[in-house]
Structure 1
Amino acid sequence: MQPNNSVTEFILLGLTSDPMRQKMVFVIFFIFYVGTLVGNLLIIMTIKSSRTLGSPMYFFLFYLSLADICLSTSTAPRLIVDSLSAKKIISYSECMTQVFALHFFGCMEIFVLILMAVDRYVAICKPLRYPTIMSRQVCIILITLAWIGSFIHSMAQIVLALRLPFCGPNLIDHYCCDLQPLLKLACMDTYVINLLWVTNSGAICSSSFVILMTSYILILHSLQNHSAEARKKALSTCTSHLIAVILFFGPCIFIYTRPPTTFPTDKMVAVFYTIGTPFLNPIIYTLRNAEVKNAMRKLCHVKITSENKR
């Protein structure tokens, strides 16, 4: 599928060329990446080991944390290493792999957020039918469909990327490989490919955001018939989800739903949803969730007790 290219590697320009700022980039994003790994792994371990976190909401939160780790890992390690490198070289095959991983796990995050919104809608609006509608088997089927949908989306992206011929230059004005900066380097008319790219990624981001907002509007409307305590609990959960949705979809829509133009802020916006949001999600879902915090305390207590017995 790869066209005849005279370019076998690319040079990533990164976030900055200033040596002092590069050191700052290293420190900041090393902390962000370690925080992302620790926070999301702690959520995964807590959900796996806790009997109280067996509901569909935590089943989907498990996969959101997994997607967060993988999405951040697809970009953050290279950004961290490149910040200390004189030449930020990435091979053609590594670049294509990064395009695939970025879109696969980014799309997975979108689909999991939708499933979490659906779960909250059914739990609040159809409480009597909730155990039947959101059974374990149904949840497994839904998450499997999310994996399949993510794979189809990322395959569409990589097919478009592999059709691009590169004759030079090979400087990518970004900190990672994505289709938009690659389109600027292709030695061909990219109008059709760009249209397909915006139609694919832009449609997924926009339609998913509309679906999510509609579901939360319906949830808020249905809460009028609930007690004050039930409204408070439901609003607390939904607020956490809404914060995560806005933080992730705002940058995505900005990047993927516009004509083939670039802005100076593009790289920082991309950093926010590929590295920033995976770092913030564990904070959002633990600080506002008493059940997760209690389960984490119990997990830590069990670990400390078992260590002391040794």
Structure 2
Amino acid sequence: EWQGGLEKAGLWDGPVLNRAGNSVADAAAFAAASSNVRAQLAAVQQSSLQALNRGLVDTRELEGLLVVGRFGLFVVAIAATLYFRRRMVKDLMRPVNSLRRGVLKLQSGDYSHRLDVARRDELGEVAVAFNGMAAALQDSHKALTYRATHDDLTGLANRAALAERLLTSFEPDSDSRTRNEGLLFIDIDDFKDVNDSLGHGGGDALLVQLAQRLRASVRSHDLVARLGGDEFAVVVLDNDDGTPATGPVAERIYEALSEPFVIGDRSLRVSLSMGVAQRTEDTADVTELLRQADSAMYRAKHGGKARYEIHGG
């Protein structure tokens, strides 16, 4: 009121004051500023809440991505483990399977299979041992097969090999030229006298030398066999034109005896009695062919020795 009276008297030119003595304009400005501050604080609070909500959303998305990423890494790790484990098992089983195949081949009589020895571990040592065993078995098999089909003293085919050769020639599907062949039975004349004069060692030496001369007298596709003791046999294939070759082969054998045998410091001559049987379409089997050759040989012996007789001749 006093402010109004002074204004009317022209004595107050200052700002309008309220009861507390404060400027009314300042109070209004302060009230407006306070209201504006509250509005700004509310806006900041609202913006902060929105940012916080967005942050929470981004955090959840990040957590989801992390979960997916961890799962993906887990799957990749499992796949890699399975892959390398499979590779390891495959690398391990490859030599094991090769060893199994090798053992099966050995069981079937095939001793030629060899394992890869490139590995430098325990499996490589097993492969080396297997190859050594297979080679030893192969050598033993060859030696046994040779002994089963060859004469120990002369190295010629033995009686079993002769029988197999003749049986093969009588098979229906044998070569047409093989079906026509001749058989020579050979016996050393008076071989007992040789043994008595030279001893069994000298007799064996004579048999070895005679075997060499017999082998040199025949063709590559003929077969010379020792039947035992001082008896030999020769399977003679017909000539390419189908004519019998037994006669010419027998003549070459007798020519081979023209030179004396040297046993130690002794030189001696021997003679042979020989029987010849020619297989024909009427020859029933191997037994008949052997019988014919044997019979012809004994005829040669009884006829004076040092000669050959042809069955049916």
Q: TM-score range by the shorter chain?
A: under 0.3
Q: Which has the higher contact order (CA 8 A, sep 6+)?
A: 1
The structure with the largest helix share of the pair is 1
Of structures 1 and 2, the larger Rg is shown by 2
